Amino acid sequence: METYKIAVIAGDGVGPEVIGEAVRVLERAAALDGSFAFSFTHFPWGCEYYLKTGRMMPENGMEILKDFDAILLGAVGYPGVPDHISLRGLLLEIRHGFDQYVNLRPVRLLKGAPCPLAGRGPEDIRMTFVRENTEGEYAGSGAWLYQGRPEEVVIQDSVFSRRGTERVIRYAYELARKEGRTLTSVSKANALNYSMVFWDQIFKEVGEEYPDVETHSLLVDAAAMFMVKDPARFQIVVTSNLFGDILTDLGAAIAGGMGLAAGANLNPERTWPSMFEPIHGSAPDIAGKGIADPLASIWTAAQMLDFFGHEDWGAKVVDAIESLLSDKDRLTPDLGGRASTEECGKALADLLG
Ligand code: NAI
Ligand code: MG
């Protein structure tokens, strides 16, 4: 029997609350299937760890993580530790260090999920974002000169390598081909006259290998507008790190809210572990109350099942989320229900069988 070794970094705020339910669902799927299992190892890293040790994870953290098959992460960041420290010291370190260059984010409106767009339903909102995840605007390159002086200057570089740009765009073309869907590239070549002209050029170049894939290109501002006005035009979407970050929060808003938004950080070659995390943060405003929505984390667990080749279980989990959405009694308050995180997670696991 295959046993997947999973490193669990529950993290801060609602992280531990929601991750517990993702673990419950993964265990249930494995128990029902019988041909695979999970072994979970929990790491107490995050902001509390930082306040005690001065680090978000131990110095050899990456060394510890590298032997796992995958990482399941709740959320990191909490008032008391500056966000740029918590983000860089853990999340970005893992994304960059393990070359998780694809951030795969489903933006799919399930039946029964709230949608703020008038007259739109599940058939209109069914896209998959492929966000570049290791370089671009989040490469962490720049300078802060003459700090605190009147002549102070800050420079934040965007880094687009040919290898980095080609591989994420190629991943998106492959996905579009596999799923028989259109591919939309989102960039901004009119204003970003180096990085995004380059991006568009690579999108065209790689596209020559995929004449069967229907493509579209949009400027990011127009893409934001169309996601609201005409979301059905998007199927597979490929974009840079910053644009993908922003557009997928917009995506979360039109597809049921932060409580339902999942994401996977993939190292497609499987040289390093991939990391699965809901896209929401630690939600300090509701942390500790036991009312955080676990469905985003559970959807993330479904993506993990997909990644391990158990697409049948991945689909079953997403179907179970969809069935649960029609039963307000078992949903958390963000979706109009009164259930606790645990009640919602247990109900979901029970729907699996
Ligand atoms: P957030 O995503 O934590 O919260 C935004 C809003 O969504 C809040 O009203 C919150 O209550 C709600 N929300 C989020 N997750 C929810 C859930 N599972 N169920 C129900 N409601 C939910 O974003 P915010 O407040 O901007 O950031 C809080 C902290 O999280 C910051 O320190 C930030 O840096 C960090 N953060 C971490 C991320 C990560 O670990 N990947 C991503 C985004 C933020
Ligand atoms: Mg974000």
Q: What's the pLDDT score for residue 204?
A: 98
The mean per-residue pLDDT over the stretch 141-160 comes to 97
The mean per-residue pLDDT over the stretch 7-29 comes to 98
Q: Residue 155: enclosing H or E segment and its boundaries?
A: strand 153-156
Q: Are 275 and 326 in contact, with CB atoms under 8 Å apart?
A: no
94-131: b (≥16 Cβ within 10 Å) or e: bbbebbbbbbbbbbbbbebbebebeebeeebbbbbbbb
**pLDDT above 70 covers what percent of the chain?**
100
Ligand 1 atom at minimum distance from 297 CA: 18
138/157 Cα distance (integer angstroms): 8
Residue 353, pLDDT above cutoff 90: no
Q: 105 pairs with which residues across the strands?
A: 129
Nearest to 129 by CA among 9, 255, 221: 255
pLDDT digits (tens, 9 = 90+) for 262-272: 999 999 999 99
3-state secondary structure 318-338: HHHHHHHCCCHHHCCHHHCCC
What stretches of 139-219 show up as alpha helix (H) in DSSP? 162-179, 195-207
Residue from 280, 332, 343 whose mutation best tests the ligand 1 pocket (most atoms within 8 A of CB): 280
Ligand 1 pocket member 334 (CB < 6 A) = yes
Helix (H, G, I), strand (E, B) or coil at 308: coil
Residue from 282, 297, 340 whose mutation best tests the ligand 1 pocket (most atoms within 8 A of CB): 282
pLDDT digits (tens, 9 = 90+) for 44-69: 999 999 999 999 999 999 999 999 99
pLDDT digits (tens, 9 = 90+) for 231-240: 999 999 999 9
Ligand 1 pocket member 21 (CB < 6 A) = no
294/301 Cα distance (integer angstroms): 11
Ligand 1 pocket member 253 (CB < 6 A) = no
Give this prediction's pTM.
Answer: 0.95
According to DSSP, residue 269 is labeled T
Phi, psi at residue 46, to the nearest 5°?
140, -155
For every residue of 50-116, DSSP letters joined together read: HHHHSSSS-TTHHHHHTTSSEEEEEE---TTS-HHHHIIIIIHHHHHHTT--EEEEEEE--TT----
Mean of the per-residue pLDDT values of the chain: 97
pLDDT digits (tens, 9 = 90+) for 173-225: 999 999 999 999 999 999 999 999 999 999 999 999 999 999 999 999 999 99
Q: 265 pairs with which residues across the strands?
A: 103, 275
Ligand 1 atom 25: the closest Cα is on which residue? 283
The mean per-residue pLDDT over the stretch 246-259 comes to 95
Structural domains in the chain?
1-110+261-353 (3.40.718.10), 115-255 (3.40.718.10)
User: What is the 127 CA–ligand 1 centroid distance (Å)?
Assistant: 22
Residue 62 in tokens: 């990456």
Helix (H, G, I), strand (E, B) or coil at 296: helix
Ligand 1 atom 11: the closest Cα is on which residue? 283
Q: What's the pLDDT score for residue 342?
A: 98
Helix 162-179 vs helix 195-207: angle between axes, to the nearest 10 degrees?
40
Q: What's the pLDDT score for residue 5?
A: 98
Nearest to 22 by CA among 323, 294, 232, 333: 294
Residue at token pair 């299992």: 37
Report CA 7 to chain centroid distance, whole Å. Answer: 17
The mean per-residue pLDDT over the stretch 327-335 comes to 94
User: What is the 180 CA–ligand 1 centroid distance (Å)?
Assistant: 34
Ligand 1 pocket member 75 (CB < 6 A) = yes
Ligand 1 pocket member 74 (CB < 6 A) = no
Q: Which amino acid belongs to residue 61? A: G
User: What is the 250 CA–ligand 2 centroid distance (Å)?
Assistant: 10
Ligand 1 pocket member 15 (CB < 6 A) = no
The mean per-residue pLDDT over the stretch 345-350 comes to 98
273/270 Cα distance (integer angstroms): 6
